[in-house]
Structure 1
Amino acid sequence: MNVVQEGWVYLNDPLNWTNPGGILDRLGEHLVISGAAVGLGLLIAWPLGVWLGHSGRGGGLVVLLSDLTLAIPTIALLTILPLTFLGFGKPPIIVALAVFAMPPLLANAYTGVRQVDPETRDAARGMGLSGWQVLRRVELPLAVPYLAAGFRTAAVQVVATTALASYVNGGGLGQIIAEGFGLGISAAGGQILAGGVLVALLALLVELLLAVVERLVTPAPLRPARRRADREAVATGAA
């Protein structure tokens, strides 16, 4: 059999799915790591981006932080952080991936708040709304397309990159690929191919699901802004 046929056989073997350390176990690990990383990135990037956007200051800081986090290779963080106080295991992996998730989250949160029409802000203040009320009732609702686009970009990137966790024995679907390489391409080429296909399919599925969610949470009048936010999020992730 060629590698493609071996990969097909591997994916169609029920034991490869249900055995301890099989596909289902690795998928669960992959989703837990990815979800925790994106969640940690949200806790840091969204409040900071929204606050800077609301205050009208810190545009240069947002660019600097985004550039710095993009400049640090994720694989470098995955190998360095386990040697710190975080130790080995999932915490350093989650932190490394959270750093990777922050650029689109931070940049889109800042841009989403800053793009609100100044006249809209002035009208809200003229009605007697405080700064906090303007942020909560005006700026954040209008920033939804940008927040959703940043979240979607970050989530897909993290899901795809979580496969690198296998380099530090962190689990996830990448572990299937790493174990295949450990056995050798000639003996486990199908397993390696199957692991790569699973990672790619999971990333595509997350992309499709979040695209639907993004559309649902964005009011129809704001959908042109959502499409513009999508383009900016892609540019941020590719920078």
Structure 2
Amino acid sequence: MGAEGGAGVNAFEQALDWLGQPGRWSWTAPAGIPYRTLEHLGFSALSLVIAAALAVPPALVLAHYRRGAFLASSAVNIGRAIPSFGLIILFWYLASRWEVDTSFWPLLLALVALALPPLFTNTYAGVVSLAPEAVDAARGIGHTEGQIMLRIELPLALPVILAGARVAFLQLVATVAIGAIVNDGGGLGRFIVDGFAQGAGGYGEILAGGLAVIVLALVCEGVFALLERFAVPRGLTLSRRATLSTRPV
């Protein structure tokens, strides 16, 4: 028990020493936490944007025409079943065989694949949860199908879509750290991997890197909570609630 406690104290001391090293808070050097944080966020944000561009439009169209329910439910199961690390290794292996840059594409493709299911499922669910009366009213005043999707269904489903984006982004933040095992960048996960490579002398770097990933995830969770609250106009939120309340039980 005493040895374990001593090891814990030693790790905290190592972490403090590591945090105080020169260049540790640099925005331009790879050894800096801000530099790796921006790299971490860059990978996560780029993957989310690409996944949203691939998942939201087809989900919106399928939900509008009330088709693809099986595809939406399958996306949920696939999203739960895909092992993040296994997907990264698979793309890394394929990139190595095809002589493609392994420092960028394997991790990016794995992240996009992981973000697709929650974005597709939430977009589909957000649209089909709307009462048909809202769509019928839009058709009655002359809106085209495209206008209904973009001006009625998409804005009203936005809170649910943002909830899916939050789930996807937090998963991406966690997976980028894992991706440092096969990626020369890897964001904040680089510190964890480098710490393990040092053995007992790297416990402080592992601890500091792990805490940095946790703090980043909590900050991102808070940012998305604010987006869900303020990105959707209050009138649309109230309209959506009223629409949902009119649906037959």
TM-score by length of 2: 0.84
Which residue of 65, 73, 83 maps to 2:93? 83
* CA drift at 1:14: 4.2
Q: Deviations over 1:3-37 (max 9, x none)?
A: 12221232233422338321233222212211111
When residues 223 and 108 of structure 1 are mapped into structure 2, their CA distance, relative to the original with a 3 A threshold, is: farther
Q: What displacement does 1:208 show?
A: 0.7
1:181-220 paired onto structure 2 within 5 Å: 181-184=196-199, 186-220=200-234
Alignment of 1:30-49 (within 5 A): 30-49=40-59
User: Which structure is larger by alpha-carbon Rg, 1 or 2?
Assistant: 2
Change (3 A) 1:225 1:194: farther
Q: Report matched runs for 1:163-182 at 5 Å.
A: 163-171=177-185, 172-182=187-197
What TM-score, normalized by structure 1, do the two folds share?
0.87
Structure 2 partner of 1:7: 15
Quote the Cα distance in structure 2 between the aligned partners of 1:193 and 1:148.
32
Contact 1:93 1:170 in 2 (8 A): no
How is 1:58-207 mapped onto 2 (pairs within 5 angstroms)? 58-84=68-94, 85=98, 86-171=100-185, 172-184=187-199, 186-207=200-221
CA contact (8 A) 1:145 1:225 kept: no
Higher helix share: 1
Distance 1:208 1:124, change over 3 A: same
> Could you list the per-position Cα deviations for residues 201-237 of structure 1 after superposition, in whole angstroms to 9, with x for gaps in the alignment?
01111111111121111233527979xxxxxxxxxxx
- CA shift, 1:56, in A, is 0.5
Matching residue's letter, 2:80: L
**Partner amino acid, structure 1, of 2:21:** D
Unpaired runs of 5+ residues, structure 1, are 227-239
List per-residue Cα deviations over 1:166-211 (Å, max 9, x = no partner): 1103421111000000000x21111100000000101111111111
2:156–2:240: 8 Å Cα contact kept in structure 1? no
Could you tell which deviates more after superposition, 5-14 or 167-176? 5-14
Identity of aligned residues (%): 37
User: Considering only aligned residues, what root-mean-square deviation do their CA atoms show, in Å?
Assistant: 2.0
Specify the SS of the correspondent of 1:88: coil
**Would you say 1:20 and 2:26 are equivalent positions?**
no
Q: Is the 8 A contact 2:88 2:107 kept in 1?
A: yes
Q: Deviations over 1:70-123 (max 9, x none)?
A: 312111111111222454121110110111111211111001111111111111
Alignment partners' CA distance in 1, 2:135 and 2:51: 28
The 5 Å alignment of 1:220-235 reads: 220=234, 222=237
User: How many residue pairs end up in the alignment?
Assistant: 225
127 and 95 in structure 1: CA distance in 2 versus 1, 3 angstrom threshold:
same
Contact 1:164 1:174 in 2 (8 A): yes
Equivalent-residue separation in structure 2 for 1:133 and 1:146 (angstroms): 20
Give deviations 1:104-154, integer Å, cap 9, x for gaps: 111110011111111111111111211111112211111111111111121
